[in-house]
Structure 1
Amino acid sequence: MKIMLVAAEASGDALGAGLAQALRIRRPDVAFVGVGGPKMAVEGVDSPFDIAQLSILGWLEGLRAYGRVKARVADTVALAVRERPDAVVLIDSWGFTIRVAKALRGVLPDTPLIKYVGPQVWASRPGRAKTLANTVDHLLALYAFDAPWFEREGLTTTVVGSQALHVDMSRADPVAFRAARHIAPDAPLLLVMPGSRPSEIRLMTPVYEAAIGRLKAERPELEVVVAVAGTVVEDVTARVAAWPFRTHVVSEAAKYAAMKAATVALATSGTVSTELALAGAPMVIGYRFAPLSYAIMKPFFTGKYATLFNHAADQEIARELIQNDATPDKVVAEVGRLLDDPAARAALSARQTAALDLMGRGGGDPSALAAEAVLGVVMASQDERD
């Protein structure tokens, strides 16, 4: 059996690696081809190009990168045509993977196409549900609230759950984390998670720097930790090195201990918000798009919240500071309020934790469920051909 896995950014790379492991347990004879990052490479996916060049967010950024994306789509399709996989799993990254899916449908019409993580149609552009249903054969959705949007369009959907809800933090030691960095056990600690895309780092770190400078001026005892995603290590490290106050920069390997050690977290919107809630860290969420991209995209936003557990609970549990609200003044006000109010922090942490149950915490292993679904699609396809 040969399965093609296609991921275009760090989060998809992690999902692809987990799926590959689960597939190999069930089918030791499986071979993998495709596109991915370092984690998928460990599992045997030899990517024909570096996926860092596909980490794009926003319409304007997408237009600028159009030629590059088109070339990488062609490379991916050529790989599929050469390898003739039994199925193709297209992981997250809507803009890239939907182009690959449409191209593959034309050249390999009998090859099953499986989308792993659908577009967030509950938040924006619900018409994408129909587009996906007309292009792929099966969807592996992360949350129960995703499924109805696609099933209404006739797309068979399996809810596998989110790996973010199954993160094992049992070995994350907040006491040792603080001690290793000479941070006092009772010192207030602000954990900053600036994002994993270059555009997020470019747009959010100046806001965070200005806000943190004021927070530290008002609270000299405040310790600041920046957890850096592997995709943007050099960029973030260089920017933070220029900040005019002491900051502890830590890698992804230490992020769970940092989350548990944090008094408050300041995070760029993304999957990390779910992990922070699992760690019990009260948080404030920020996000900015490039102004022109936001102006173009704003009419398509239909959801009330950007944060998944806020959406699941249908209320703003963690404060969201999006676009024009993502200012140093508002960051200082929201983060400062939590730093100064232990009762507010405890209440927020409890509400975040409760919202995770609405997202499906406690379900089966997502990678295992995804692997079973993929194998089911492959077997059904082979039976049809036979």
Structure 2
Amino acid sequence: MTTPLCIMLVAAEASGDDRGAELMAALKAHLGPGGVRFVGLGGERMTAEGLASPFDMSELSILGLVEGLMAYRRVIRRADEMAALARREKPDVAILIDSWGFTIRLAQRLKAQTPDLPVIKYVAPQVWAYRAGRAAVLARHVDHLLSIHTFDAPYFEKLGLPVTFVGNSTLGLDFSGAQPEALRRRLGIGPTEPVLLVLPGSRASEIQRVLPPFEEAVALLKAARPNLQVILPVASTVADQVKARVAGWPHRVHVVEGEADRYAAMKAATVALACSGTVTTELALAGTPMVVGYRLAPLTYAILKRLIRTDYVTLFNIAAQAFVAPELIQGDCVGPKLARELALRLDDPELRATQVAAQNQALAKMGRGGPDPSEAAALAVLKILGRGAA
């Protein structure tokens, strides 16, 4: 009887939890019942697939240079704990998903204590945008890279790091089962009433910096449009924080939880106000026009502004090399400016349709409609381990 594979998977934020869960499902499909066991760190979705995490991954959901420095001791402590977990469990492979600051420190520890352990990085650092030196750091500490962008490979292969392009799992998101009409009925929203979807992020720091200007924009829009319905899907990582803030809003907001309601809300929305991140690609796939806003700590932004080599922060804008969706970043991410861009789209069906068409063209450039990324990632992992499908 073949010994089950032990696979270490580590994710530290919501998008990584999604990728990790989908990869776990694909690996289980190939290896069969009892053919694999998982150890490591993840969120709700990875837990549902059978992973028991030793602590809450939200502790490591950190964005920004200043925030990273403040959390440094915690990151090091948790990296040490995960390395100790690997010593105990003796995995056949370690797959570290996104979250550069934490996963690169864990990769260093894993290779130092077990040089023969294959370490795979899933999602490359965006060296094409900033911090090109990270490519060399990654090449020294991992054995293989699974990339989600077609343009990643040259930056790493020239340094001797093998790269397998697996595609972006977000692009395979299926909205066919979403039920926007049912959600509207349940929330008491009429079929023709305009809906503003508000997505302020999944990290505590994002809620702290992004939700206040989003809140101001919503208040301005509601004052001018009393019939505007507001839906706010809340991520599990920040649910308590968001609910506490929204409870003080003077107008009604429909707070929804869970994946099914989030996708239904995306389809039900007339327009969305979104924090920069994976959610913008999800909205584009849902066919929802959007305005993107983001804020960082002032010092973090000042430093990054000198390092960043791209004019855009939204992936489909990068693919299109155009502001398909408006991006209001840092000083521009204020209530009146956000409200003005949203009002333009709420009041102009033709503008909404034009933006959705441009978003679809950008998604095609990103690889929409390609092979299933989780399946491709699973096959790549099995190939690295010298194991075929069951």
Which whole-Å deviations, capped at 9, do the CAs of 1:191-229 have from their partners, x for residues lacking one?
001100000001111101111111111112211111111
Residue 78 of structure 1, CA deviation: 0.6
Give the secondary structure class of the aligned counterpart of 1:90. Answer: strand
Superposed, 1:355-374 pairs within 5 Å as 355-374=362-381
Render the CA deviation track for 1:339-358: whole Å, top value 9, x for unaligned.
11111000001110111011
CA contact (8 A) 2:62 2:203 kept: yes
Task: Choose the corresponding residue for 1:83, options 78, 89, 104.
Answer: 89
Task: Give the C-alpha shift of residue 169 in structure 1.
Answer: 0.9
Equivalent of 2:58 in 52, 55, 62: 52
Conserved? CA contact 1:123–1:306, under 8 Å: no
User: Any conservation in 2 of the 1:123–1:305 contact (CA below 8 Å)?
Assistant: no
**In the alignment, what sits opposite 2:205?**
199
How far residue 297 of structure 1 moved from its aligned partner, in angstroms, is 2.5
- The residue that corresponds to 2:19 in the other structure is 15
Secondary structure class of the residue paired with 1:172 = coil
State the alpha-carbon separation in 2 of the partners of residues 152 and 311 from structure 1.
Answer: 23
| Distance in 1 (alpha carbons) for counterparts of 2:225 and 2:46 | 43
Q: What is the aligned counterpart of 2:147 among 122, 133, 141?
A: 141
Post-superposition offset of 1:237: 1.1
**Aligned-residue CA RMSD in angstroms?**
1.2
| Partner secondary structure for residue 267 of structure 1 | strand
Contact 1:266-1:286 at 8 Å conserved across structures: yes
> Over residues 26-46 of structure 1, what are the superposed CA-to-partner deviations in whole Å (9 max), with x where a residue is unaligned?
113112111222222222222
One-letter amino acid of the counterpart of residue 348, structure 1: Q
Maintained 8 Å contact 2:220/2:336: no
- Which one-letter code corresponds to 1:265 in the other structure? A
Q: Distance in 2 between matches of 1:212 and 1:243?
A: 10
Q: Which residue number in structure 1 is paired with residue 29 of structure 2?
A: 25
2: CA distance between counterparts of 1:121 and 1:147? 11
Distance 2:129 2:341 in 1: 24
What does residue range 345-356 of structure 1 map to in structure 2 within 5 Å?
Answer: 345-356=352-363
Structure 2 residue runs without a partner (length 5+): none
Which residue type is aligned with residue 23 of structure 2? L
Cα distance, 1:100 vs structure 2: 0.4
CA distance in 1: counterparts of 2:9 and 2:158, whole angstroms: 26
Instruction: State the shift of 1:331 in Å.
Output: 0.2
Paired positions, count: 380
CA distance in 2, matches of 1:278, 1:235: 28
| Alignment partner of 1:327 is 2:334 | yes
Unmatched tracts of structure 1, length 5 or more: 381-386
Give the TM-score normalised by structure 1. 0.96
Task: Tell me if 1:223 matches 2:229.
Answer: yes
Alignment-derived partner of residue 308 in structure 2: 301
For 2:305 and 2:197, how far apart are their aligned partners in 1?
29
**Structure 1 partner of 2:283:** 276
Matches within 5 A, 1:28-43: 28=32, 29-43=35-49
SS at structure 2 position matched to 1:134: helix
- Percent identity, aligned pairs only, is 56
1:317 and 2:321 aligned? no
| Deviation of the 1:233 alpha carbon | 0.9
Residue among 361, 373, 382 paired with 1:375: 382
Cα distance, 1:188 vs structure 2:
1.3
* In 1: Cα distance, 2:338 partner to 2:113 partner: 50
Given the alignment of the two structures, is residue 72 of structure 1 paired with residue 72 of structure 2, yes or no? no
Please state whether the residue corresponding to 2:386 is helix, strand or coil. Answer: helix
Q: Is the 8 A contact 1:286 1:320 kept in 2?
A: yes
2:266 is paired with a residue of what secondary structure? helix
Deviations 1:147-197 (A, max 9, x none): 222223221111111111111111212222212111122111110011000
Task: Select which of 175, 180, 184 maps to 1:174.
Answer: 180
